Amino acid sequence: MLDLIIIGAGPAGMSACLYASRAGLDVLILDGSAPGGKLNVTAQIENYPGLKPTPGPEIAFTMYESAMNFGAKMAYEEALDIKDHGDYKEVITAKQTYQAKYVLIATGTKERQMNLEKENELVGRGISYCAVCDGPFFKEQDVAVIGGGNSALEEAMYLATLCHKVHLVVRRDVFRADKVIQDRLSKVENIEVHFKRKPKEILEQNQKVCGLLIENSDDQTTEELKVNGIFPFIGLDPMTQCAKSLNIVSENGYIDANENMETAVKGIFVAGDVRNKQLRQVVTATNDGAIAGQYIASLK
Active site residue 133: yes
| Contacts of ligand NDP in 38-57 (CB under 6 A) | 47
* Residue with smallest beta-carbon separation from ligand NDP: 149
**Residues facing residue 111 across a β-bridge:** 236
Binding pattern to ligand NDP, positions 50-89, x when CB under 6 A?
----------------------------------------
Q: Which residue of the set 130, 178, 210, 256 is catalytic?
A: 130
To the nearest whole angstrom, how small is the minimum distance from the Cβ of residue 162 to ligand NDP?
Answer: 19
Segment near ligand NDP (CB under 6 A); pick from 12-20, 83-91, 171-179, 255-263: 171-179
Segment near ligand NDP (CB under 6 A); pick from 28-36, 90-98, 170-178, 217-225: 170-178
Question: Does 151 help bind ligand NDP (rule: CB under 6 A)?
Answer: yes
* Whole-number Å distance between alpha carbons of 278 and 293: 21
C-beta closer to ligand NDP: residue 124 or 235: 235
C-beta closer to ligand NDP: residue 65 or 224: 224
C-beta closer to ligand NDP: residue 22 or 280: 280
The full 3-state SS of the chain, as one line of letters, equals: CEEEEEECCCHHHHHHHHHHHHCCCCEEEECCCCCCHHHHHCCCECCCCCCCCECHHHHHHHHHHHHCCCCCEEECCCEEEEEECCCCEEEEECCCEEEEEEEEECCCEEECCCCCCCCCCCECCCECCCHHHHHHHHCCCEEEEECCCHHHHHHHHHHHCCCCEEEEECCCCCCCCCHHHHHHHCCCCCEEEECCEEEEEEEEECCEEEEEEEEECCCCCEEEECCCEEEECCCEEECCHHHHHHCCECCCCCECCCCCCECCCCCEEECCCCECCCCCCHHHHHHHHHHHHHHHHHHC
Segment near ligand NDP (CB under 6 A); pick from 52-60, 99-107, 124-132, 230-238: 230-238
C-beta closer to ligand NDP: residue 47 or 258: 47
Which one of residues 154, 215, 262, 288 is an interface residue with ligand NDP (CB under 6 A)? 154
C-beta closer to ligand NDP: residue 88 or 195: 195
Binding site for ligand NDP (CB under 6 A): 47, 114, 146-152, 154, 171-172, 176, 198, 233-236, 280-281
Which residue numbers are catalytic? Answer: 130, 133-134
